[in-house]
Every structure is written in C-alpha cells, then in structure tokens.
Amino acid sequence: RRAFGKNPAFQKREVKCFAMGGEELEDFRCEHLMKPRKYRRCHCGVLSCPAHCSNCDEDEDEDDGSSEFGESRDSEFELVGCFPLVDGDVTGEVEDAADFACRDWTQDVACRSGLPFYRLQTNHDMTPELCFEFCIGAGLDLFGLVGEDCRCGASLLNKDVWAAAGGTPRAGLLLPLSKQLATEDCPVRVYRWIGPFVSGGSVPEHLQMLHVGNTI
C-alpha cells in the first residue's frame, strides 16, 4: 500500500497468535503480549511495489500501546518451567560458545536437555538476564540455566532457526515440553522470549548480535 504523508509505502502482514509448540490460538490468548503492527514501513526503491497497490491512511494502523514500535518490551522474557537433566548430560567447563555436540544428533531423546545450540559461563553468578541477552543475540528464543551454564534453544515458532532443516526440526533438538517438572527441584530452568516474531518466524534483527559466530 502507498501511504499519504512522509512514508512512501507499507507492507501489510498477517498477525496471528501461536502457542510455543506452534499451535495457532485464538487472538484473546495473546492479548497480554506485544504484537507486530499490521503494516510495516518499506520503500519502493528497495522492495518492488506493485502497480495495483492501494492508498491507505496511517491512522488505520495506529499504535495501540502493545505493538513493537516505540516500545522497550521486546526485551522481556518469562519462565517456561523446570525440566529434567537428560541422562548423560553434564555441566562443566565451556570451551566454545558454539556447542557442536548436537550437530549430528539423531536420537529422539533431547540433546543438551533441549537447549542444544550455544553455551555460556561467567566468572560470577549466571543470571536469567545475562543468559537472555546472550541467547537472543544469537537469534534464539529459548534459554535456560543449568547449574552455572547458560544454554540456548529454539521453539517451533522460531522458524528461521529450523529453515535449514526444511522447517522440520529433529525431535532431539527441541525442548521436551511434555517432561516439565512439577517439583521444587529444578535442574534445568527454562525461559522464553515473549516475542513478537516477525517475517514469518524470526527474532527481529535489532535484537541479534553476531557475537558467537553464525553457523551451527
């Protein structure tokens, strides 16, 4: 759409509500979360604008206070729950941030207890805030504390991560949601970024930093 005023054009995009496991939900289930605006500013010099696009009024997409623009809420996360440490999974010295132990993993049991991509340790106490910044910077929406380890993973909503696998991740690379613990013992405490995902399923570029390499 072409817009009146300063901005030359908008792209209309569909906004939907999804569960962490990828199931589509009714809109009211996401009312408490930040969401993308229906129209994204673009420029016809960068993207091709079709000749048949129609004019629109910017007021049609007025910010309602829960969108991504002008807000700092894209740095929020919430607790998912506690999960078991998979047999054979150990914590300890981390030599490299990029953890390649799960690269050729073909078993159904969760590799690295469902957080298979990056790991981080510090010389002081690991906090959820520090772990979040590390993992979201790598474009990963799940993160967890395993002892003094920070580990990163991805939900099914994070489609950019799974694109290289044809959109279908191996079961052993996913967080085993069905094994969530209801006890006070919490060997793997998992959190998730609350979104919104953009461009069909990716963490916004402004949150990502190439601090640990870009290949897994």
Do 155 and 126 meet the contact criterion of CB atoms below 8 Å apart? no
pLDDT band (50, 70, 90) for residue 205: confident
pLDDT of residue 24: 82
**pLDDT 10s digits, 102-151:** 888 888 899 999 999 988 887 778 899 999 999 999 999 999 999 888 99
Among the listed residues 84, 76, 89, the one whose alpha carbon sits nearest the alpha carbon of residue 177: 84
Alpha helices in 16-169 (DSSP H): 128-136, 159-162
- Residue 4 confidence class, pLDDT cut points 50, 70, 90: very low
Q: How confident is the model at residue 18 (pLDDT cuts 50, 70, 90)?
A: confident
Name the residue type at position 158: N
Instruction: Say if residue 38's pLDDT is above 80.
Output: no
Statement: residue 208 has pLDDT above 60: yes
**pLDDT value of residue 112:** 92
Q: Read off the pLDDT of each residue in 69-78 and give the average, rounded to a whole number.
A: 58
Closest CA to 189 of 134, 146, 130, 142: 146
Burial environment of residue 49 by CB neighbours within 10 A (0 to 12, 13 to 18, 19 or more): middle
Lowest mean pLDDT among 29-38, 73-82, 129-138, 157-166: 29-38
**d(Cα 154, Cα 135) in Å, to the nearest integer?**
10
The pLDDT value recorded for residue 93 is 62
